């Protein structure tokens, strides 16, 4: 059993469209709760009333609605509100926070794929989150063709602005996530989300959390 009275831990799930981040976040929360860990599930963009309002601006409309710099500014404005109103209060209470996307998505989408200099993004991220960083990041990796097909099958199109940016964009997003994971092996674990079935992905995620954060399997 994990010590639920210990300080809260911060886990993020990252990856391209259709990687199953939300599904795996729910599996992980259930796995942790079965081991006595109080969890909070949240997401980006969103996770607080102000951030959810900004989310609507970001994920709806035509792909060219915003350029990548504007996207990055909106993302980090939402992130700041999310951090102050949701993430930090939960961690302070000892909850474990499981977040569907966080700072690495900004680097992958607006940086590696969108062309915004990484130094610019890192400055925006620093202003938004200061010293709050994930304890563990799970990068769910799959081919963009597979992910986009999954997403478009299960979507009504309302929040499909990023999905409509095209295959080359999403290939660059995948490359960005893999570069981030390789450069941050102390924090990131990459999981095959393209060929493994859902249950085996959940087991791989749980194994990573067990090994890295000391939760009994």
Taking 50 as the threshold, does the pLDDT of residue 120 lie above it? yes
**Residue predicted with more confidence, 152 or 50:** 50
The secondary structure of the chain, three-state, reads CCCCCCCCCEEEEEECCCCCHHHHHHHHHHHHHCCCCCEEEEECCCCCHHHHHHHHHHHCCCHHHCCHHHHHHHHHHHHHHHHHHHHHHHHHCCCEEEEECCHHHHHHHHHHHCCCCHHHHHHHHHHHHCCCCCCEEEEEECCHHHHHHHHHHCCCCCCCCCHHHCHHHHHHHHHHHHHHHHHCCCCEEEEECCCCCHHHHHHHHHHHHHHHHCCCC
Could you give the percent of the chain with pLDDT greater than 70?
Answer: 96
Q: Where are the domains of the chain?
A: 10-213
Taking 70 as the threshold, does the pLDDT of residue 2 lie above it? no
Q: pTM of whole model > 0.75?
A: yes
C-alpha 121/C-alpha 107 separation (Å) is 7
C-alpha 15/C-alpha 127 separation (Å) is 23
Beta-strand pair 39-43/136-141: unpaired
- Cβ(212)–Cβ(34) under 8 Å? no
Taking 70 as the threshold, does the pLDDT of residue 108 lie above it? yes
Beta-strand pair 188-192/136-141: parallel
Q: pLDDT by residue (tens digit) across 159-184?
A: 999 999 999 999 999 999 999 999 99
Taking 80 as the threshold, does the pLDDT of residue 152 lie above it? no
Taking 50 as the threshold, does the pLDDT of residue 189 lie above it? yes
Mean pLDDT within 2-29: 88
Taking 90 as the threshold, does the pLDDT of residue 6 lie above it? no
CATH superfamily of 10-213: P-loop containing nucleotide triphosphate hydrolases (3.40.50.300)
């Amino acid at each position: 059993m994990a010590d639920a009275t210990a300080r809260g831990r911060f886990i993020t799930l990252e990856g391209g469209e259709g990687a199953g981040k939300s599904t795996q976040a729910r599996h992980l929360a259930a796995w942790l709760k079965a081991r006595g860990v109080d969890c909070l599930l949240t997401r980006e963009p969103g996770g607080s009333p102000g951030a959810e309002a900004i989310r609507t601006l970001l994920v709806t409309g035509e792909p060219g609605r915003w350029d990548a710099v504007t996207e990055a500014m909106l993302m980090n404005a939402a992130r700041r509100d999310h951090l102050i109103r949701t993430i930090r209060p939960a961690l302070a209470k000892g909850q474990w926070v499981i977040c569907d996307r966080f700072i690495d998505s900004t680097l992958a989408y607006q940086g590696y794929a969108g062309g915004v200099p990484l130094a610019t993004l890192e400055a925006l991220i620093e202003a938004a989150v200061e010293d709050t960083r994930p304890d563990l990041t799970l990068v769910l990796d799959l081919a963009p063709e597979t992910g986009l097909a999954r997403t478009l099958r299960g979507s009504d199109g309302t929040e499909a602005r990023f999905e409509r940016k095209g295959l080359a964009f999403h290939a660059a997003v995948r490359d960005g996530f893999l570069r981030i994971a390789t450069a941050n092996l102390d924090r990131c674990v990459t999981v095959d989300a393209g060929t493994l079935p859902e249950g085996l992905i959940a087991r791989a995620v749980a194994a990573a959390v067990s090994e890295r954060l000391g939760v009994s399997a």
